[in-house]
Every structure is written in C-alpha cells, then in structure tokens.
Structure 1
C-alpha cells in the first residue's frame, strides 16, 4: 500500500465525523484516552452572543470530561495550512468561549442526532461509557469548561508542515488551560484496500496520572473554601450549612475532581431534591428543571413566583428559561457576602421548602 492524497478536504472531514477515533485520543492521553462526541459539523461561531454566526469550525466534539474540542481540517496541498489556519482557529476559539452557550451546543447535538435518526440520550450514555453517569453533570462540565477557557484546538491534515508544527508547539506551552494539538491522518491505499493512520505530531503534553473523582465532605470543603476563596466566602458557606441543618435538610456532596460542592437536599417520597449547590469554583449552581418535577413547582405560576423572588435579590439574575431540561444556572457566591442579601436568599428557599412540605402533607392527608 502507498500513501495517497485525499480527494478533497470534505472527504477527510467526513471520515473524522464518522470515525472520531482518528483524532488520536489514545495518543493525546494514554492514561485516559479521549473519547469524542460529535456535536456538529460546520459548527457556527457568532461574533457576539445571540448574533448570527460569522464563522464556522469544521467540527465540534466534546470529550468525556465535557471539554469542547474544535477541529479544523486542511489538506497539505492547501496553502492556508502554513499560517492562515492558525489565525482562523484563534478567531474561532476566542469567540467560542465568549459567545457559545451550553444550551446552543446541546441543541446542535440533539438536532444532529435526530437528523441521523439516533437517540440523543443513548448517544450520550454511550459516550460517557457509564450507565450510572449523570447527563446533567456532563452538560454542567461543558458550561464550566467553556467559561474557564478549558478547550482543545486540533489541527488535522494528511501532513502537518514544519511551520504549523512549530506554531502549535509554541501555543501549546502558552495557552493553558487550553490545549493546542496537531494530528496527521495519513491515507494508504492499494489492492482495493484503504488504511487510515492517525498520529499526534505536535502539542503533546507530559502525561500525568489523572486524579480520580473525589469524595468531598464538609471538613474538606471548608478547608478548600478557606484556602481558595478566603474567610468572607467561607463564612457565607458556613451560614448556608447552618441554615440547611436548621431546616432538617441533608447535605449531598459533589464528586468533582477539581471543584468541590455541596447541595442542601430535601428528602421526599418521590426521591431527593437538591435545592442549590455552592461550589469551590466560586458559584452557586441551580438545576431548576429538577424542581419542576416536584409539586407545586410543576406549575408555571409557582415557577414564576420563584424567579420573581430570586431576581429581587441584588446581584441575582435568573433567566426565564432556567426550567429547561438539563439547563444549569449559576450565581456568583460573592453576591451573598452582605448579611441582608444572604438572609433574603435563604428566605426564598425557606419558602420553597415550606411550599413543598405543605404540598406533600396535603397529598398525604388526601390519601388517607
């Protein structure tokens, strides 16, 4: 078999979409090989959030940790592969982290699945390779990675020229937490057969043992908040813990490798409801879609009242679409540093707890 040029760039693009393993995930991370979930081809990138798309990146993938991975494909015969493609990718990356939302990414993924007559939920579980995986946490990770600039840029070609390789090596040292990589996918044909051989040629980082998921507890969280967020936010967290205890709420702890979190949790006959989650990343996270499953917050009028109460708090802006499935909403923990603001915030969730418990009590009485 002999090396053969691809007929066109769309040919190589199509192969990457059909066979994402050509992105050399096992070479990028030999300890925990990267798996790729295709969001879409020709993924649009707007210049401003909410505006129409100005650019489009050849592929957008997500790895199993929710890291957005932008892929740009060029044939070695394309003169743009020398330097112009780098400028293009920088445009895509700079605007993607500012202007993409996890909702937009999820909608694109689901639309592509439907176009291919695939079930989005099944595709996601297959990607996560864990029947106990939590899709909501995955999409939260995507959102967090975007906002922190934790993305991956991959240049793909049949041959990576030396000029591009040098640029990629330089950028990979300078752009952390972003990763910049170059992958060659050579094609060999002969005797009616074809072989595709991927090779990571630039941007590889030293392989470090990956941290396993962490089991957080209250003591560890307090230490992490004190070390990373200072005494004022630690005091806010302690006040939330005291409030949860006074309301007989359980504390559920996250298992994030990098950031810890805890959730004041209401135990119900139908299961557990996590109200909100202060995190060592400096945010409070909400998944209002779960609350929508619990009466009386399954009613639109009660949902509107909850949003109205929260948005009356100075510094809190909860969007009207926060009850959409899988949509995570966050508020800066620093908003609650004023005692009056914290008191107002906790009063809202006093009302939430009281409403749910009152409804549960009424339902239990009616069943007798």
Structure 2
C-alpha cells in the first residue's frame, strides 16, 4: 500500500506528500530544536509532559577512568527529573532493526553508572549557553521550587535506580523493532521503552507537517506501579577510605583539607554515581550555595575538584562569581578554564585535577581562603536551608 498524502484546508485544498528526511543530521537537529514532537503522556502530578534538552551527542563512558566510548544522539529530561534517552535512525539505516537496541541498552546501562548529577547539570547549562537560551528561562520549565542542585540530584538518583525512558525515533519503525519494544516493556519494571515513528509531509515552499505515531505506550501503561528505589549516596567515610589508599601524601592532605573545610563551615552532600563524590554547600547571603564537587575516580590522575560557577552565578550574581574566580589561586590547569568562563559569563564547571593543586605551592590554602572570603562578604546562615 502506498503512503497517502495529508491535506491542508485553507483558502484552497493543498496535498502534502510523504517526504523522507534527507540526512540523519537533519532529523537529529529537528528533535533538538522541537522536542515537543516527543511530548506524550503526563508527569506524575498530571501535568503535560515537556521534555527539555540536556545535550545532543551526549558522551557515554564505559568505565570510571575512561573518556566517552559512545555518543547518545539526545538526552532530555522532564520536570519530574526522569531522563529520556533518544536514538535517531532513518528507515534506510539497517541498524534500525536490531543493532540500535543493543546500542541503546549500552547507553542506558553505562549512563546509569557514569553520569553524575554534576556532569548532567554542566551539560545542560553548556547546551543552554550554546543555544543562546538563558538559564532562568530554561530552569523555569523544570525546577519548580527546587534548586538546580536538588533537581540534578533527583535526576542522578533516577538514573541509578533505572528510572528512565528509552526512545527509538525513526521515519518508519519496522515490525521487528516494535516487537522488541513490547518485549522490553514487559521485562523492565523501572524503565519505559518507546518507538516513535515520525512521518514528514511536505507541501509548497517551507510547509511541513510532522505526524508522530507511538509504539509501546500501551505496554508501558500496563506496568504495575512501583515506588522509586533510593540510590545509595557516598558518605564521608566512603571518601576517607579511598583517600587513605592513595600513595601520594600531598594528595591525601589536599582532599582531606577540602572535605574538612566544607564539613566545618558548610555541609557535604554525597553523590550517587558509581564512583565516590561529594558536593560542598556553603552559607552565603542567607542561602546554601553549592560551590564545588570532589570526584574520586578509579584513576588517581583524574581525581578532580570542579567549581559550580553556573550555580554560583544563579544564586549570587555574575559579579560575585567573577570576584570568587579572581580570588582563586593561579593553578595553570584551572586558570585556562576560568579564562573561558570569563568569556561565557561564569556558567560552567571549571575543574582541576588534584595533582595540579598539589603541584602548585599554596594552592589548597588559596582555595580555602577564597571560600572563606566568599562567605565572609555575605550574611551567613548556619546549616542547610
């Protein structure tokens, strides 16, 4: 049976004929710019689902000490903090039948292990900056009364618990993929799987009509409800255990000094990724502001401290963020990234490996002094908000 046109009735009747996407890149760009075509269903409180782009070509590592081994086409998130992984294929790509399923499961399994909330927040804020979209507008769609850190912590917990959506998007979904989607939905209790057939129709000029058809929705709705599983958070004892095993005494001293300072003057919150990590919140101008995250990977050369300038700017303003950046010690590996932040408005996550701090005389003390000055310049409030 041949594909039938759709008709637009205005002054005249216009037939729009089915038209394939010319390239996969065109298809991907369409979804990145218009995620509404993937919005179906509702949030837990009944509000309509609205997906927000975290990143396009999101890197997926396969080990704690490795870089990205794979690249997911799109990562979205909704206001409930549920991540949505999207893979895009045209019908002419033979991988849409089986291979894409193995790819997606690889991405989901490793993303759940190696995507900490801090990385997701960094990716989201960098995507907003690249798209010229203000963080205030973007966060207005998903935060509610939560802070960005609370929201991304929720996303991390959902990933660790396997609470996510997997979406296969193509201009034509083969029967083999539909069968796999239905099977996966029957076996996976926390993860929802969908195949979205997005048909494009073209008319005169720039007129286009996009018609999504959803496969897997019935099987997903039939799942028995189950409560969220709570992911285990890193504790200070977990961090200390890793640090004690390090052979380098200076690195042990630096990591311990940072954690002790946060515990004494602010509060520490553990991450839920597969590797130990903790974020430091400090009281500044009456609010608890996340300032840095210490991540302890399996590879000692990659242990790092990352400064949450997007959150600092969000809570305290650009001038305070700039002043804090200027007060940090001159560590070559960090200074290069701070210079980039000056140009981007202090909205990213500049980081420095711990070995770079230990190699720079006075760097650890300089960071602690900068943190003290940041707090002492504003009104302090003890404890969490």
TM-score by length of structure 1 reads 0.57
SS of residue paired to 2:107: helix
| Structure 2 equivalent of residue 145 of structure 1 | 158
SS of residue paired to 2:221: coil
Q: Check the 8 A contact 2:39/2:50 in 1, yes or no.
A: no
| Structure 2 equivalent of residue 84 of structure 1 | 99
| Structure 1 equivalent of residue 114 of structure 2 | 99
Output the aligned Cα RMSD.
4.1
CA-CA distance at 1:126 after TM superposition: 2.8
| Structure 2 equivalent of residue 73 of structure 1 | 88
Task: Kindly provide the CA deviation profile for residues 74-128 of structure 1, in whole angstroms up to 9, marking residues without a partner as x.
Answer: 1111110010000111111111111111111111111111112222232111344
Separation in 1, partners of 2:266, 2:188: 36
Distance 1:29 1:291, change over 3 A: closer
CA-CA distance at 1:33 after TM superposition: 2.6
- Pairing 1:3–2:18 present: yes
SS of residue paired to 2:73: strand
Separation in 1, partners of 2:142, 2:187: 30
Separation in 2, partners of 1:141, 1:324: 17
Which of 11, 17, 35 pairs up with 2:50?
35
| Structure 2 equivalent of residue 169 of structure 1 | 182
Task: Kindly provide the CA deviation profile for residues 324-346 of structure 1, in whole angstroms up to 9, marking residues without a partner as x.
Answer: 4769xxxxxxxxxxxxxxxxxxx
Separation in 2, partners of 1:50, 1:23: 34
Distance 1:294 1:28, change over 3 A: closer
Separation in 2, partners of 1:207, 1:30: 18
- Pairing 1:134–2:126 present: no
Q: Check the 8 A contact 1:50/1:99 in 2, yes or no.
A: no
Q: Check the 8 A contact 1:275/1:286 in 2, yes or no.
A: no
Distance 1:29 1:141, change over 3 A: closer
Distance 1:30 1:16, change over 3 A: farther
Q: Check the 8 A contact 1:39/1:108 in 2, yes or no.
A: yes
Q: Check the 8 A contact 1:47/1:54 in 2, yes or no.
A: yes
CA-CA distance at 1:274 after TM superposition: 9.8
Distance 1:69 1:33, change over 3 A: same
| Structure 1 equivalent of residue 216 of structure 2 | 202
| Structure 2 equivalent of residue 291 of structure 1 | 283
SS of residue paired to 1:43: strand
- Which range moved further: 196-205 or 68-77? 196-205
Which of 146, 150, 169 pairs up with 1:156?
169
CA-CA distance at 1:25 after TM superposition: 2.5
Task: Kindly provide the CA deviation profile for residues 40-89 of structure 1, in whole angstroms up to 9, marking residues without a partner as x.
Answer: 11111011124211000000101111111110001111110010000111
CA-CA distance at 1:8 after TM superposition: 1.2
What residue ranges of structure 2 are gaps of 5+ in the alignment? Answer: 1-15, 227-264, 271-276, 295-302, 313-375, 381-385
What residue ranges of structure 1 are gaps of 5+ in the alignment? Answer: 212-272, 279-284, 308-318, 328-358, 364-368
TM-score by length of structure 2 reads 0.55
